[in-house]
A and B are shown apart, each in its own frame.
Chain A
Amino acid sequence: MDAHGLVKRFGEITALDGVDVRVEGGRVQGLLGPNGAGKTTLLRILFGLVRPDAGSVRLLGEQLDTSDARLPDGVGGFVEDPRFYPYLSARRNLKLLSELDEVRSAARIGEALELVGLADTADRRVGGFSTGMRQRLGLAAALLREPALLLLDEPTVGLDPAGVREMRALLRKLADGGTAVLLSTHDMAEVDDVCDGVTIMRSGRVVWDGTVQRLRAEAPAPDLRLCTSNDARALEIARGHMGVTAVSDQREGLVVSAEDGRLDAYVLALGQAGIAVRRLELLAAPLESMFFALTGSGSDTGAELDAA
């Protein structure tokens, strides 16, 4: 997949402002960004649901016709929450969708349902499905197209922890089998777990693009919460240590940031000063810190994103 120079405006709102994204076969590319960054608009353009004002898209070597788009064979996925006809069963929904793809194999539908764990509920009407079940069905619908390119928008939303693990394992397996995956997500742990590369967007622009390893390497020191027997004295000691930043936290203790070596020295200094360290916990992982730094999101925003 190769999207180049994509621009999309909705009235006075610029949703995308010259976005370039490229995904290669056998790789999972994470698409990150806060709400309103333009991730969903980008996916909608890739599916031909939204026409860009400028730029071009090539999917599996085929130029996407934005006037009367027909999604190339081999491209599958979903954008936002997958939707189906509520008055039909899951199996019937897949049957109709596969009819549109000219795939008339009942066996393949059964396999897809089995793979996403919906075999037992396949004959129930979709109207009664939970969000997680719809997510699974969405993936089954995408898999019916035997995708060489999989475009997914937050596929683990609504899934239970076991479902999340299964979904991530499946995506990794598909990528290992040669499928290119573009995975829009809010979850940094998902990026860390599944993705090979990351594209971070902010206000309709790509602000960072590269591998997960590079993102980790460039990530700033993590924020830690430090609770001691004497926080005021611990703050004074921190000011005397190079490379250690500490501020008093309104809720509890101090928020400390330092690279590992300097943090070790600081903690030892606290012990020597007779200050007991009661708790030292990670507030934001390195990747999250990087995300917040790149997107200008605060930790509150981070909490909101995680919740989403």
Chain B
Amino acid sequence: MAYSASERGLAETSAAPRRHARFAGVGRSWRVEMAKLISQLPLRILAVACLLAPIVFVVVINSQSAVPADTLFGRWVHASGFAIPLVVLGFAGSWGFPVLTGVVAGDMFASEDRHGTWKTLLSRSCSRSDVFVGKVLAAATSVAVLVLLLCVSSLVAGVIGVGAHRLVGLSGTLLSPGRCLGLVLASWAIALMPVLAFTSLALLLSVATRSGIVGVLGPPVIGTVMLLLSLVGGGEIVRTIMLATAFDAWHGLFTEQAYLGPVVEAAVVSAVYAFVCLAVAWRILRRRDFAGVPGGARPGWALPTRAVAASAAAVALLAVLANVGPTAITSKRLEAAINTTFDNLTILQQELLGRAVPANRSLSSGANCRRHGGGTSNSGPGDDWVCTITIVVPPPRPDTIEVTYDVRVRPNGCYTTEGPPSFIGQRVLPGAHGALNPLFQFDGCFNTT
């Protein structure tokens, strides 16, 4: 042998230096992957989009009276700047985050195949595991930075463009600006969990298919399918395991009695997705031979066809199973939530109208909810819920008033009500400097775990 191990300093090493060498290899790989990502146009475009999109959104919102009322907190975008990052978070959770993760991570491994650079990369002083972990960490870092950029940009745009005013929470209580700031940041931090899980999914697609197109488009397509699956049925089992539903986990922070069950669920589901995706991706990469196309054989359509057929079958099965299992949407939960919210908003409405409301005063009311077309089953999501709220007016003019709201309840436990203007009043309160009538339409959420 021309060179002995000792001559080249390659003698047996103890576990600690080997571990150090491993971390050093991962660190070098991470730095290189970050440098490559930053050099590429798609990431730069995404960064600019994350920075500018919230600003454009605020400018557009301020130039018109219409509001994105279909989104949680959308009706408050003119009233509080803190509604802006929450609306952006709602939009991003539906499709923005899966697109973002696809663009950042979906081409991470496939681009090495496209450029033929695997052999270049693996012919240096880094092992496959170093390269794999470096790429995963670089993708996670980039995605986290982009999410942070979007969060900060929308928060700053909202505060500057609309104002750091108090925000009406999901139980009808007013949240102070300081509390809003904390809750907004916490909400975005919670959303980061499924974002990183989607990043893992994009990385898996990139490794498994070696196609940048599949890697980039896969997460938004899968995210949309998950969203649709979580909407088609009332069963909790399928909805819970759909990663896209984890983007709603932050809702519980904005209720009077904060509930963290969905946050825990989101953490578990995201961790399972991330672990499974990364474990499968690493197994594929570790076992792969970078041999070009041996024997002139070309990859056929058999495997992709089988994969598409298996995916379609899985989606169909999940769609069938979507109605299986108990539903978390029950009349009891809805009544409790809507009654609390109505009470709080009524007091808020009186304050906005300039009427004195004694401290700690609450309304004596009760709600009764049923489904219009639900037959005997008063449960499950739908837009056919009707809630009648009975208000007991105290002396000196005791009376009982009933007000009926049409209610749309979503599978994630959030609802939107629409009341009769004859009783509730118009959208804007008269003589309240253009303030919105909080009882005209209102949103709320309740715990589904």
Contacts and interface: CB of A to CB of B under 8 A. Distances in A.
A96 B39 CA distance: 12
Given A60-B3, A100-B32, A78 B40 contact: no
A1 B118 CA distance: 23
Interface residues of B, number: 43
Nearest to B287: A51
A41 B123 contact: no
Contacts of B7: 61
B289 A78 contact: no
Contacts of B130: 70
22 contacts: A10-B294, A10-B297, A11-B294, A13-B295, A15-B294, A41-B294, A49-B119, A50-B289, A65-B127, A67-B286, A69-B127, A70-B127, A71-B124, A73-B8, A78-B120, A79-B119, A85-B117, A96-B36, A97-B124, A99-B35, A100-B32, A101-B124
B28 interface: yes
Interface in A60-118: 60-62, 65, 67-74, 76-88, 92, 96-97, 99-102
B31 interface: yes
Interface in B1-54: 1-8, 10, 24-25, 28-29, 31-32, 35-36, 39-40
Given A24-B2, A62-B10, A72-B10, A84 B117 contact: yes
B290 A50 contact: yes
Interface of A: 1-2, 10-11, 13, 15, 23-26, 40-41, 44, 47-51, 58, 60-62, 65, 67-74, 76-88, 92, 96-97, 99-102, 141, 145, 148-149, 180
B123 A96 contact: no
A10 B3 contact: no
A51 B289 CA distance: 6
Contact of B1 (A26, A58, A82, A101): A58
Nearest to B22: A70
**Can you list the 3 inter-chain pairs with the closest CB atoms, starting with the nearest?**
A25-B2, A10-B294, A70-B127
Contacts of B125: 70-71, 73, 100-102, 145
Contacts of B286: 67-68
B397 interface: no
B292 A80 contact: yes
Given A70-B126, A78-B123, A88 B39 contact: yes
B2 A180 contact: yes
A72 B125 CA distance: 7
Contacts of B3: 25, 60-61, 74, 148-149
Contacts of A92: 39
Contact of A69 (B32, B39, B128, B291): B128
